[in-house]
Amino acid sequence: MLPGTTAALIRDPQVAAFLSDEAMLDRALRFEIALAEAAADCGAAPAAAAQALRERLAGFSPDLDAIAAAMPVDGVPVPELMRQLRPVVGPEGAAALHIGATSQDVVDTALVMGLSQVNDLLAARLASVETTLAALSARFGAQSLMGRTRMQAALPITAGDRIAAWAAPFPRHRRRLADLRPRLECVQYGGAVGVRAPQGDAIAAGLAQRLRLADAAPWHSARDGIAEYGGWLSLVTGSLGKIGQDVALMAQQGVDALRLSGGGTSSAMPHKQNPVSAETLVTLARFNAGSVGTLHQALVHEQERSGAAWTLEWLVLPPMIHATAHALTLAHAMLSGITAMGEG
């Protein structure tokens, strides 16, 4: 919904690749193939059908325009995807297609497969930020800085003291991510109303193994994993926003002797260097903070599937992920561009 120049303030290209329609539908196909195989392993589908399905789906590319066009009517991409897949798998593969599955199984599983990739990326970027903070401390940590409370000069500290406060949450964020991943990156397999057929547990286990996800009971209407994840994203951007706010304040002339390379230019004052990255970190923190509140509204997910609550997740979560990934990149660059901090 944001035009390209504005989107540039929040969009992360790697996240965009992981969450693109193409990637989502590719993972949907991998779900269908893994499902056919897992079902065949349990005797819930003919092995030949599973093999046929795998062969026919290899290299198939869904018609995205048709799926987008069906979206407002169906509310999910899967019914149209199935309309496209049935002729492709043909009668040979039909007996292994979408066995015991429903749209939500495909979409939720394809989502968390993508989130698994995202989380590897974010973990790496968190580590980069931590490394940069350590380097900053090594370089400027002994410099003197005025400690400020309630926006007033209080007592002198060192730049290292402040950098330590910036860095403190990141090991916790890493730990939180490690804690939550097994609760988030779980296969969803429950069928029409979230109740598995007799062999469903074995099929789910096979699916999980093939897709490198945690095995789990259906979570079709228990969305705490998604909401918890949104909270984590906002914790990360919140910690980065705190750094951004401090850097913007420190960049005030005559205050804390912080200098940044690569600041923004002004259309009216060519001499001025704006701490645009620092400010953007604050923006992204506030954006995610507000968004996490909206995402938690989707926890009230009525009955066996709430279209209203589920759809809300799709509108809110992806921008939060972009914001987090972009903020990490931005923070890394901003911190790397600090050329002076405190007084020697």
Residue 58 or 151: the one with the smaller Cβ distance to its own copies is 151
| 82 contact partners, CB below 8 Å, separation of at least 6 | 97, 98
Contact between 68 and its own copies by CB under 8 A: the answer reads yes
Indicate which single residue of 192, 205, 214, 340 sits in contact with its own copies (rule: CB under 8 A): 192
Query: Would strands 152-158 and 259-260 be described as parallel, antiparallel, or unpaired?
Result: unpaired
The amino acid at residue 168 is: A
Indicate which single residue of 116, 275, 328, 335 sits in contact with its own copies (rule: CB under 8 A): 275
Please report which helix (H) or strand (E) contains residue 262, including its range: none
Indicate which single residue of 120, 124, 262, 343 sits in contact with its own copies (rule: CB under 8 A): 262
Give the residues across from 340 on adjacent strands: 259
CB of 200 to its own copies, least distance (A): 12
Part in contact with its own copies (CB under 8 A); list of ranges 35-43, 49-57, 94-102, 129-137: 94-102
Residue 102 or 132: the one with the smaller Cβ distance to its own copies is 102
Part in contact with its own copies (CB under 8 A); list of ranges 38-46, 70-78, 121-129, 135-143: 70-78
The amino acid at residue 9 is: L
CB 64, CB 22: distance < 8 Å? yes
Site for its own copies in 207-246 (CB under 8 A): 217-225, 227-228, 231, 234-235, 238-239, 241-242, 244-246
Residue 14 or 47: the one with the smaller Cβ distance to its own copies is 14
The whole-angstrom separation of Cα 288 and Cα 285 is: 5
Indicate which single residue of 48, 69, 127, 197 sits in contact with its own copies (rule: CB under 8 A): 69
CB 313, CB 226: distance < 8 Å? yes
CB of 122 to its own copies, least distance (A): 15
Where in 113-207 does DSSP place strands (E)?
A: 144-149, 152-158
Site for its own copies in 108-127 (CB under 8 A): none
Site for its own copies in 193-212 (CB under 8 A): 193-195
Indicate which single residue of 40, 76, 122, 129 sits in contact with its own copies (rule: CB under 8 A): 76
Nearest to 80 by CA among 25, 5, 30, 7: 25
Nearest to 334 by CA among 288, 284, 292: 284
